[in-house]
Amino acid sequence: MSQKLPEQVPPSRPSAGEDLSAAMSAVTAAARRRAVRDDDRMVDTAHLLHSLLEADPEAREVFGEGDRIVRVLGYLVQRSIGYGLRWRRTQEGAGRAAAPGSVGEGWSPAAGAAMDRAARAARLRGDAYANGLDLLAALAADPDCRAVEVLERAGVAAHSLAVRAAGRAGARSAPG
């Protein structure tokens, strides 16, 4: 296993970390570890999706009955072992500028934008912290990100998934 240089290792959590719950901080930390283990220079949206689906049962429930979640996880696992979808030597969202205040160095612009959208969604509904449903909705809403490529290859309609996740995130926070 190759040794990482300090400048290659993404920060352990985004600079906008005050917008993350403890559970979401754990997801971002797991995504960071996954990127390092996969020998990737940046945390991307596929790393976030993989870590989120492993950690958050509510995010997995949005996929519904059937084998869709199994197919998505299958693609993500194949990627992590170096088989199937490969994006090495390319930066996700290379043509995009990072959003102001986004997660910063070590994170792809698309991953930073997804984290920002998740935090914004939580704030708009009056919650202090983004949750896994917010992140899933943000990831699935970006048609140009790697997470959506994985979802679509697995036969999941990303836009519909984004709508369902956002709806559940809002319903979860609605007064009783």
Quick: pLDDT tens for 20-65: 788 888 999 999 999 898 888 889 999 999 999 999 999 999 999 8
As a whole-number percent, the residues of the chain with pLDDT over 70 amount to 73
**Looking at per-residue confidence, does 86 or 57 come out higher?**
57
Predicted model pTM: 0.81
pLDDT at 66: 85
Contact 135, 111 (CB under 8 A): no
Tell me the torsion sign for CA atoms 116, 117, 121, 124. positive
pLDDT at 126: 93
Q: Give the count of beta carbons closer than 10 Å to the beta carbon of residue 171.
A: 9
- Which of 50, 110, 54 has its CA nearest to residue 79? 50
Give the fold, CATH level 3, of 19-85+99-173. Double Clp-N motif (1.10.1780)
Question: Residue 135 and residue 128: Cα distance in Å, rounded?
Answer: 14
Work out the pLDDT band at 174, boundaries 50, 70, 90. low
Least confident window among 3-12, 48-57, 69-78, 146-155: 3-12
**101-143: pLDDT as tens digits:** 445 578 999 999 999 999 999 999 999 999 999 999 999 999 9
Residue 68 structure tokens: 């869709």
**Looking at per-residue confidence, does 38 or 15 come out higher?**
38
Question: Residue 96 and residue 66: Cα distance in Å, rounded?
Answer: 35
Spans of all domains in the chain: 19-85+99-173
Contact 145, 49 (CB under 8 A): no
